[in-house]
């Protein structure tokens, strides 16, 4: 009941904005190719939903694959460099450089490496590069956040680095890693869409290609319908990550209670 009450204000605001948008388009006679009313977007969505759904599944699959690659690479690298301070100092600047380099600048090069026959792999690689830093930074920060008193206790018992990592630092890093995963989920969708825009070949047939196709034909209502699908895709992935986060934190809480 409380959750439903929390949803009423944003839903009311959205409906009010949509009603104002619809009224403004009709009263001001705005050309549909410039800004279609919400009713036209709904009609375009109803008409184009089979191909938009198929393209959304392609984009979703590439974003999930990129998130998995970024998680494995970022998590593994963070755990490795956390064992040696000098390794962290050497790797962190490279990770920052990867983060601040625009994906549109390196996309043509990655497409050359993978070839247009494997455009989907190139898109996954580029999206993984975009999602890499939040996961790497989150896991590394979490690994360094262990209780200092417990660190000294492990020193007292002469624990090996791997045992310290497994028994102390990984449990401490879980909340930070999950927060990094939440950020990286959105980044993976953005990276997949931008990479597909840059490729421009239509080989992947994801949502970005549908947006380009509709834009070239001035089908603005269909473009906005595609943007709605993208927003829904991002919300779906974010909700999935939030569900995983809640399940893991509950499990961690039960384990701590047993201990």
Q: Where residue 177 sits, what CATH number does that domain have? A: 1.10.3720.10
Q: Is residue 210 part of a domain?
A: yes
Q: 188-243: per-residue pLDDT in tens?
A: 888 888 888 876 655 667 888 888 888 888 889 999 998 888 888 888 888 888 88
Range(s) of the domain holding residue 71: 51-258
Give me the pLDDT at residue 5, please.
Answer: 65
Give me the pLDDT at residue 6, please.
Answer: 66
Give me the pLDDT at residue 94, please.
Answer: 84
Q: Is residue 226 part of a domain?
A: yes
Q: Is residue 15 part of a domain?
A: no
Give me the pLDDT at residue 258, please.
Answer: 60
Give me the pLDDT at residue 72, please.
Answer: 92
Q: Is residue 6 part of a domain?
A: no
Q: Is residue 45 part of a domain?
A: no
Ranges of the chain with pLDDT below 50: none
237 touches 60 (CB < 8 A)? yes
Give me the pLDDT at residue 4, please.
Answer: 60
Q: Both tokens of residue 4? A: 């439903």
pTM: 0.81
Count of CB atoms situated within 10 Å of the CB of 27: 8
Q: Is residue 32 part of a domain?
A: no
Q: Is residue 46 part of a domain?
A: no
Query: Would you say the C-alpha torsion 100, 102, 106, 110 has a positive or negative sign?
Result: positive
Number of structural domains (the chain) is 1
Q: Is residue 28 part of a domain?
A: no
């Amino acid at each position: 009941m409380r959750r439903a009450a929390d949803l009423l204000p944003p839903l009311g605001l959205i409906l009010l904005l949509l009603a104002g948008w619809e009224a403004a388009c009709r009263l001001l006679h705005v050309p549909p190719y410039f800004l279609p009313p919400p009713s036209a977007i709904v009609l375009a969505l109803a008409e184009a939903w089979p191909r938009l759904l198929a393209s959304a599944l392609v984009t979703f699959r590439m974003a999930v694959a990129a998130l998995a690659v970024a998680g494995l690479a970022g998590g593994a690298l963070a755990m490795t460099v956390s064992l040696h301070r000098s390794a962290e100092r050497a790797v962190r600047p490279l990770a920052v450089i990867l983060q601040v380099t625009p994906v549109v600048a390196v996309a043509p090069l990655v497409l050359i490496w993978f070839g247009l026959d494997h455009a989907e792999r190139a898109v996954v690689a580029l999206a993984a590069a975009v999602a890499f830093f939040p996961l790497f930074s989150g896991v590394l920060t979490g690994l360094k956040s262990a209780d200092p008193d417990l660190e000294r206790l492990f020193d007292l018992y002469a624990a090996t680095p791997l045992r310290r990592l497994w028994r102390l630092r990984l449990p401490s890093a879980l909340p930070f890693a999950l927060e990094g995963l939440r950020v990286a989920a959105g980044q993976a969708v953005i990276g997949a869409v931008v990479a597909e825009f840059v490729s421009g070949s239509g080989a992947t047939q994801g949502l970005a290609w549908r947006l380009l196709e509709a834009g070239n034909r001035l089908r603005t209502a269909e473009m906005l319908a595609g943007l709605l699908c993208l927003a829904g895709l991002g919300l779906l992935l974010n909700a999935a990550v939030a569900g995983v986060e809640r399940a893991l934190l509950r499990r961690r809480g039960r384990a701590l209670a047993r201990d």
